[in-house]
Structure 1
């Protein structure tokens, strides 16, 4: 018998099979691409600072008359920020110089953003939708007006206001039907065009600037379902937090932030002349505790947002640094003598209302000992607002197992 005749592929056969294969591959890509995009863009809403579960817990504790929630809620309810009579004061160009001088719309913008968030909380905790309507009105007033931030404090101002805008927008959109879709879209455009580009660009300034801006960028990215911008914010956080709080494992000198000078003399100048470095010392400790507290709480906010969004575990990544920093600064706020090697023997105390989020995560949920922070919390609760970007964190995060 003869050998089987080899099959011959003509050029037409090859082209036909190539076309079939291309259709199969293309079909697979087309079929899987939307699902892949959906997975990449999927965020939990509300998922910036607050969730339904965490606020449901707060509402239950308020109804039971339990502390610290009872006092914290009374503080919110009595605040002018939560007034239904508030009239927003938007500006097209918010002009903020160093130390807010000049202040042309700066305080108005920050407090209106805080008011929108305060109203959003009141709406959920009381069930009175008039507060959601008020929050939506404040947000729309600014969305139809502002076009830019100007002067030297513009990056930080964008962060201060952006943190509260993101929280307010997330909560109202997810829990109320009183915000028309067209106005939501207008607010989203404001965040995307007026805030996010500045926030993602960074500041190359003191650590509290970059961390507050990153806090705002992460929250706004969640509101916008913008995964790429969110990932950029996380990357910035990972570069900045290790450069903001010192640990002995860093070596004899602190880590340099990305894009910042790393030689000894410039690092020491950047750390306000401090030459001895110990666990928990922060880049702005010798400036003052207030700015240091802002940097620490902004870092905690980003970690909280990441936790609510299913990762990465930023709380785990910064645990040793932030626990050490809170304990280090709390001891001096509690009255410990300041050693001569620390900031020349003199510090400007007062970390502010910055303890709740990190303490709740590390001590209450993970069991990390933080005795000095606990003692300081007992003296300072309930945490109110700093009129910049912090508001009502004893109410929302104090001893909250669902936060």
Structure 2
């Protein structure tokens, strides 16, 4: 055990890991620090001012989107009710889209210095923080995770970079603390993308609230779920499991993995469901790893980074059109990974120098990456070839 721990430590240090526990909250939180940092934003602003690609076309795409519309009217409601697949949809789409719009406007403010965008982001955040009290029905945890992943990205940029002031930032913080965090921080025993998205939201909210206890709890659950979501050959004959799910036989595990009984490195728990839901899980893994890096820690240097790299490569190969072998999902996959590769690809390939040919091909083919209209938005702009 000591030799293994030593090897892990040496490998982590070689990859640039900080000598602190990967699941410990920072002594001092970094702001803005949810998914995107000030250094990253400054890099992008320099590139777009110079007209450099792919950042200029990515900014143009974002500014032309409905989310950057300065005439947007927020649609808050007190209780957001979301059933399975958002049916019924009582405020579900409105909440997610207003959150994406707030984040879009926050980015637009920072990159253009047009304070109309900052004021619009504030209007959207204030509208919801004045009204919402609860999420209900079967998809409430997932809905809370999706919207709760996006709100703190917007709030971090506005609170810590906009000098025009945000009078109701405290009320917004109260909304995150009382309406969102309790719904997500204890996790989920549903499909893996649920808990990963919920932990992404919990980590981001904890950064904004500077809540170290919630941060630690969320990162701990995140690491357990990531290990149970992406298979590595080193895991053994069967994938790892989340203890609370009681997946204690091979048959239960195979059933949970969508009937897949042959396990290969990079396969995820939802690959044989479809690549769209798989993309949700991969995206959340990359976002939590990126936020932790900004906060001065290193999840990329742990098994999280290797699982992310392998998951991206495995899924990218088939999203690019490779023939699906008969042992994998009965020889048929449902494509639709989504705009989810930029953050992980940038961190692992550009910063750490890892080879990722399939992920690179897919990422470059899909540029500029847009939004999945749930919780992912503009990641070519924020993370494409970004060294910071």
Tell me, yes or no, whether TM beats 0.5: yes
Distance in 2, Cα, partners of 1:47 & 1:77:
23
Is 2:295 the partner of 1:309? yes
Structure 1 residues 94-103 or 324-333, which shifts more? 324-333
Is the Cα contact below 8 Å between 2:26 and 2:296 reproduced in 1?
no
1:177 deviates by 2.6
Query: What is the TM-score with the length of structure 2 in the denominator?
Result: 0.92
User: Which residue is equivalent to 1:375?
Assistant: 361
Is 2:207 the partner of 1:203? no
Residues 195-224 of structure 1: CA distance to partner in whole angstroms, max 9, x if unpaired? 001110211111100000100000000000
Helix, strand or coil: the match of 1:352? Answer: coil
List 4+ stretches of structure 1 deviating above 6 A.
none
1:334 deviates by 1.1
User: Which residue is equivalent to 1:22?
Assistant: none
Q: 1:179-198 residue pairs with structure 2 within 5 A?
A: 179-181=165-167, 183-198=168-183
Query: Higher relative contact order at CA 8 Å, sep ≥6: structure 1 or structure 2?
Result: 2
Q: 1:67-106 residue pairs with structure 2 within 5 A?
A: 67-106=53-92
Is the Cα contact below 8 Å between 1:115 and 1:135 reproduced in 2?
yes
Q: 2:310 aligns with which of 324, 332, 337?
A: 324
User: Which residue is equivalent to 1:48?
Assistant: 34
Distance in 1, Cα, partners of 2:385 & 2:356:
14
Helix, strand or coil: the match of 2:135? Answer: strand
User: Which residue is equivalent to 1:239?
Assistant: 224
Q: 1:290-305 residue pairs with structure 2 within 5 A?
A: 290-305=276-291
Unaligned runs of 5+ in 2: 1-24
Count of aligned pairs between the two proteins: 363
Alpha-carbon distance change, 253 to 40 in structure 1, aligned in 2, over 3 angstroms: closer
Distance in 2, Cα, partners of 1:300 & 1:262:
28
Q: 1:170 aligns with which of 156, 160, 163?
A: 156
C-alpha RMSD of the superposition: 1.2
Distance in 1, Cα, partners of 2:285 & 2:26:
24
Is the Cα contact below 8 Å between 2:228 and 2:242 reproduced in 1?
yes
1:41 deviates by 5.5
Query: What is the TM-score with the length of structure 1 in the denominator?
Result: 0.88
1:316 deviates by 3.3
Distance in 1, Cα, partners of 2:284 & 2:33:
16
Structure 1 residues 313-322 or 257-266, which shifts more? 313-322
Distance in 2, Cα, partners of 1:233 & 1:308:
16
Helix, strand or coil: the match of 1:166? Answer: helix
Is the Cα contact below 8 Å between 2:26 and 2:295 reproduced in 1?
no
Distance in 2, Cα, partners of 1:316 & 1:110:
31
User: Which residue is equivalent to 2:326?
Assistant: 340
Distance in 2, Cα, partners of 1:321 & 1:43:
26
Q: Which has the larger radius of gyration?
A: 1
